[in-house]
Chains A and B, each alone.
Chain A
Amino acid sequence: MVLSEPRVMAKHIEPGMRVALPVDYAGVSMAMTQPIIERGAGDLDLVCVPTGGLQVDQLVGAGLVRSVETSAVSLGEAGGAPRFNAAVKEGAVRLKDATCPAIHAGLMAAQKGSPFMPLRGLIGTDLLRHRDDWRVVDNPLADGGDPIVLIPAIKPDVTIFHVPMADRFGNVWIGRRRELAAMAYASHIVLVTVERVVEENLLADEMSAAGVLPALYVTAVARAPKGAWPYGLWGEYPADSAEIARYAKAARTADGFSAYMARAQMEPA
């Protein structure tokens, strides 16, 4: 494998692509955010797996996002996602409000090459009422009745995440964050940033192999130390909640957001 770098990887992103991003504690590649913004490919349809935060807010704030499919967007303890919330109010992004297991079900369908996955719940919600891509059918295996919702396969063009390590063969270590594998299986392009690249083959040892996403599913890997910052990375470092709070405050206005993003401190402290 030839190691890439974030700015080169961002060139995979074309206008109008569907981009899957992980939940804030699973390994968000914050290191890719600025390169994606510099790349400037707009009209992106984001899929949050299953919720979004800082990265989604920044991509929305940068004006690159056409729609957001998500179960929630927030900055956690730091409160609401300011640029996302402002865009919702202005009607500047199209919302595809979902519920966490529906996002997982859509990815699972794609993983199996199936057109849809049935899911309990949802009937009687306004989520379902506003989703013309979700269908209700009667359970064909029951004697009659028993309505159930079908969630269509979610097939992102690109998946982007950050994990502790890759080996020099392009295998990446995802540990027990299996949603990262689900996203990768479902996606055409998979861009991964890592804390470090190791010499040994991660598939050679059964203990590490169990937590590996094989190179088969990985398009490119780049090294980005502290690449999840200011989010934390499991097993590596905690979230920098003071920095997230600083962003939350700055991004309350469009000008504050621009000033924050222009600062050189987009790199980890």
Chain B
Amino acid sequence: MAEVLPREVLICTIARLLDGVRHVAVGASSPIPAAGAMLLRAMKQAGGAVGPRISILGSVEHNFFTNGSAELFDCAGQGRIDAFFLGGGQIDGAGNVNLVGAGEYPRSSVRWPGSFGSAYLYFVVPRVILFREEHTPRVFVEKVDFISAPGVSPEGVFRSGGPIALLTGKGLFRFDKTRPGFELESVHPGHDLAEIKEATGFRFAHDAEPRHTALPDRSTLDLLRGRVFDELAETYPEFAAQMRRDLVAVDA
């Protein structure tokens, strides 16, 4: 079996996390989540199914909306979007996300762009996948400096959605909203539990010997490296080209 690139592991894991969704929305400049959604669609279609609808914000190619930038949010509010991705400058152990800035608000020492639609979508999209490649204590903190979107809500607050998982460059966590907190589900190839503990600023549950993240089989890899990277290149040409250069480097 050919070597699998770390980002291919991430893309295949995202496809697995999305299994069963009808409509997934992907933010602008999110090539890995977009690739995961496209891979799931390609796998479903290879099996004779229709596969999920994919909306990519800011893309002309993958935009079904005719009612301006409000329609995505209206669509989510109507329960028509099953999955979405959120990153974050900081993410804490209770699933809170900070997209605004580090330090004291409003004069943040580091200002990030802002909350975008997170303060709404996190509440109404059933399957939100937290995705951040950089896995460091700077990102995964004990407590976020600013809550753009809370991991859980008190009883009585309308909440049909929220986080289900956190995927990083080192591992995959599941979110348990009853505690609330994260549980390490699997460790990506080349990483281990001690390293993940060191790199994570919040406490999380885990097995004594956590599993390894499942690697894609040959047919999945073929779909990814063929059809999916072709499709991806329409919206993220630089990312698709870089993936292909990395694959050539691995083969050499």
Q: Residues of A with Cβ closer than 8 Å to B?
A: 23, 25-26, 49-51, 70-74, 76-77, 80-81, 84-85, 88-91, 94-95, 97-102, 104, 108, 119-128, 130, 145-148, 176-182, 234
Among B130-138, B145-153, B178-186, B213-221, the one that faces the other chain is B145-153
B157 at the interface (CB under 8 A from A): yes
Q: How many angstroms between the C-alpha atoms of A95 and B156 in the bound complex?
A: 30
Could you say which of A125, A146, A179 contacts B156, with CB atoms under 8 Å apart?
A146
Residue interface bits B93-125, CB-to-A below 8 A is 1, else 0:
000000111000111110111111111111110
Residue interface bits B179-221, CB-to-A below 8 A is 1, else 0:
0000000000000000000000000000000000000000000
Place the interface of chain B in its size category: 35 or more
Residue interface bits B15-51, CB-to-A below 8 A is 1, else 0:
0000000000000110000000000000000000000
Do A121 and B107 have beta carbons less than 8 Å apart? no
Give the interface SS of chain A, mostly helix, strand, loop or mixed. Answer: mixed
Could you say which of B101, B119, B154 contacts A99, with CB atoms under 8 Å apart?
B119
Q: Which residues of A contact B74 (CB under 8 A)?
A: 101
In the complex, which residues 72-101 of chain B have their Cβ closer than 8 Å to any Cβ of chain A? 73-74, 77, 99-101
- Give, as a whole number of angstroms, the nearest-CB distance from B55 to chain A: 14
Most chain B CB inside 10 Å of its own CB: which residue of A70, A124, A145: A124
A/B interface sample: 20 pairs, CB < 8 A: A51-B116, A72-B99, A72-B115, A80-B111, A84-B111, A89-B107, A90-B107, A97-B100, A99-B120, A104-B70, A120-B158, A125-B149, A126-B147, A128-B119, A146-B158, A176-B65, A176-B66, A179-B68, A179-B70, A180-B68
Do A85 and B111 have beta carbons less than 8 Å apart? yes
B69 at the interface (CB under 8 A from A): yes
Q: Residues of B with Cβ closer than 8 Å to A?
A: 28-29, 58, 60, 65-71, 73-74, 77, 99-101, 105-109, 111-124, 146-150, 153-154, 156-158
Question: Shortest 3 CB-CB distances between A and B: which pairs?
Answer: A72-B114, A178-B68, A179-B68
Query: In this complex, what residue of A is CB-closest to B103?
Result: A89
Q: Which residues of B contact A74 (CB under 8 A)?
A: 113-114
Q: Which residues of A contact B77 (CB under 8 A)?
A: 101, 120
Do A126 and B111 have beta carbons less than 8 Å apart? no
Q: How many angstroms between the C-alpha atoms of A15 and B117 in the bound complex?
A: 30
Q: Which residues of A contact B99 (CB under 8 A)?
A: 72
Do A95 and B106 have beta carbons less than 8 Å apart? yes
Do A127 and B153 have beta carbons less than 8 Å apart? no
Query: In this complex, what residue of B is CB-closest to A235?
Result: B60
